[in-house]
Structures are given as C-alpha cells and as structure tokens.
Amino acid sequence: MAMTAHVLIVAGTDSSGGAGLSRDVETVATFGLRSAIAVTAVTVQTHTSVERIEPMPPDLVAEQMRAALASSRVAAIKIGMLSGNATIEAVAAVLRDQDKLPVVLDPVLASSSGRSLLGPEAIGSLTRELMPLCAIATPNLIELGILTGEETARDEAQVEHQARRLLETGCAAILVKGGHATGPQSIDMLVVRQGREPMHFVAPRLDKNMRGTGCMLASAIAAGLALGKPLEDCVHEAKRHVFEQIVSLGRRQPV
C-alpha cells in the first residue's frame, strides 16, 4: 500500500460529507489513487451552513504532513482549507522540503453558504508564503478578486489581468473557475507563466447546485499530476470529471 501513488490532501473536514476532505478522498479514488491526509480544521457543517470551526494547531498540521510523506509514496499534494497565518506558514515550511512534488492550491476563502473560512489578515501570507510553492492555484472569480485586492472581474480581459497578477507571486499557473459567471457555458481560464496565451476549458452550464465542486476539481488535477500527466490534460480531465458528477447528481435527484 505504501508504494501505491498517493495524493496528500491538506484540508478541513466537513461533517455533511459535501466538501472538504471527504470530497477530496472520494475524487482521488476515482482516478485509481490513494490519499494521505493532514487535517487543518474540524468543522460542523450541514449542506446549508457552517456552524462551528475548530482549527488544528499549526504544528500538528505540519507533523501530519511529514508523517504522511514519510509513510507513503506521495506523488502530488492538494491544499484546501487553511485556518490562518500560522497554519499557512507551517504548511509552507513543509512544502519547501518537497520542492519536486507538484502542489495544487484551492484557495478556500469562504464556504458555499458564505461563511468566511480564511480571514483577510491571512491573504497576504497565502500569496506570499504558499503560492510561490504551487504548480497551480484554482481560485473562482470572487476569490481571484480578493487575492489580487481588486473587484470581481467582469470580463475576460479583467480575468486574465488578475490571473497574471497572481502569477507574479511565483505560482506556476492559475486556473480561474468560471462557475460564478453567467451565460450558457462555464468557462475556466488557465494562465501560465511562460507567456503563452490563456487556455479555455468550456462545458455547458448546468442548473444544478452541488457543493464541493471546487474541492473535486483541485483534487482531480492533483490526481492527474500524481499520474505524471501534463497540466493541460489534468485540467481538461478534471473539468470533465466535475461536469459528469454534476450531471450524475441531476439523474439521482427526483424531478
């Protein structure tokens, strides 16, 4: 088991099972890989609200990560919910010793219900300490604006501008999720540091409300990177996986 490729997931729990670690582990398994985990926070959640958050001590998060890295063949790392400056710095310290592993950052700033999960005082630490260590970050439009200190982008030119601003942190690529936009298509934009034109990943916009899609997308990308696939292929397959999961949810729900 230890020799099987693993994705190390650094994230918070969700007692409803709709997002967080449970969604991450489920997604990684879909791609035929195993998960190692480091719990950053325990949350009490339903599908409509976050009722309580208990952050883990930062040194405990770092110790979990190091134990997972020592125990299993970790081939990629996915980072989700973080609880503050100290946790961000603890996670970054571990990652600096693992500079050959691809890291996928899902900058979880708020829950689907709107509750803040990472305070504004920690935004600087996230962009300064963590993003330079990442192969890709996957903000949605709202998160992109917050991370760059600008208003939410309203058109493609603004999205690209803000994504390129985030690349200045040292992160190798930014995937801006288009789920918060409008229109008949959900368009994600991938911007990379090598000066190439942005790549667009398009899927029909579905009228289904499913929690945890951001967790799914980032975990699926991490799984693809763990399998040694090119980043563009990882994003394409992850986008398709999320689309298929939302479609499947629609089939299971009564009309």
Cα-Cα-Cα-Cα dihedral of 85, 91, 96, 99, to 10°? -130
What's the pLDDT at 254?
Answer: 42
* pLDDT at 183 (0 to 100): 60
Q: Check if CATH label 3.40.1190.20 holds for domain 5-250.
A: yes
pLDDT in tens, the chain (255 residues): 557 899 999 999 999 888 899 999 999 999 999 999 999 999 998 888 888 999 999 999 999 999 999 999 999 999 999 988 999 999 999 999 998 899 999 998 865 555 556 777 788 899 999 999 999 999 999 899 999 999 999 889 999 999 999 999 999 999 999 865 556 577 899 999 876 899 998 877 665 667 789 999 999 999 999 999 999 999 999 999 998 988 886 555 544
* pLDDT at residue number 196: 81
Determine the Cα–Cα distance for residues 156 and 183; give it in Å rounded to an integer.
13
8 Å CB contact between 214 and 23 = no
Answer yes or no: are the C-beta atoms of 96 and 62 closer than 8 Å.
no
212: left (phi over 0), alpha (psi -120 to 50) or beta: left
The phi and psi torsions of 219 (rounded to 5 degrees) equal -65, -40
* 34: Cβ contacts below 8 Å, ≥ 6 apart: 1, 4, 5, 6, 7, 28, 72
